[in-house]
Amino acid sequence: MWDYSEKLKDHFYNPRNVGKIENADGVGEVGSLACGDALTLYLKVNKDGIVEDAKFQTFGCGSAIASASALTEMIIGKPLAEAEKVTNQDIAEFLEGLPREKMHCSVMGREALEAAIANYRGEKPTEHDAGEVVCMCFGVTDNEIRRVVRENRLTTVEEVTNFTKAGGGCGGCRDRIQELINEVAAAARAEPRKPLTNLQKIKLIEEVIDREIRPSLQADGGDIELIDVDGNRVVVALRGACAKCLSAEFTLAGFVEAKLREFVDPALVLEEVQR
């Protein structure tokens, strides 16, 4: 059973801006009924480049409806240049979280927004429409997989399936998906790392804790809390069963610190406090 936030349930039971805009300035259509999810986003943009109205029609699950509803709320009243910066993670955060298995719904929302903006500008479809089709079951391309891996820092085939559905059908593409994950990871390692501001570092640490660390700890009845970040010093507190576990020291050094160094900065040093 998936855990849905109250905000997500509100947008599912009471979706905002459902419908069609006649003579819309931009229309974006993504997904397909054959794949189980389809979304059409309509935009009305005024002469000053402000999104005056946005409506959607969708076929999909509750998370797909909620993600599309949230997206329209997020972009109405914003300049187009600001609206186009909305990411799938922004949609998930607006809904106070999406189950990992439903993250593809937020990705579909972001793709619909890009397609609608491209249509408004008279541009060609975005990169996910081009490239090698990797997943024949759901029509997902290599470019789409590379992008979602890069933007969401995905590391496993299962995560790619959650975000794109690729690999969730016959499974014949799973080896190719792993190759693409390795390719993106190698490219990231080859790029010189830009120094993070303290705010950027804190946000990235929180993301890594939520994505890579907390689920494993919670599976064993434990949890972790981020207390402070001071330069490369990261202060945390173990909670629940982890706080009293005899192997807590190994958990911190061998798991938590290792993950933070892998995904944030190799220079990070972890420190535990009892609170």
Enzyme catalytic residues: 35, 105
Measured distance CA(199)–CA(100) in Å, rounded: 25
Tokens describing residue 78: 């914003």
Measured distance CA(269)–CA(233) in Å, rounded: 5
Three-class secondary structure assignment of 68-133: HHHHHHHHCCCEHHHHCCCCHHHHHHHCCCCCHHHHHHHHHHHHHHHHHHHHHHCCCCCHHHCCCE
CB distance 134 to 145 below 8 Å: yes
CB distance 71 to 41 below 8 Å: yes
Residue from 158, 155, 62, 142 nearest 105 by CA: 62
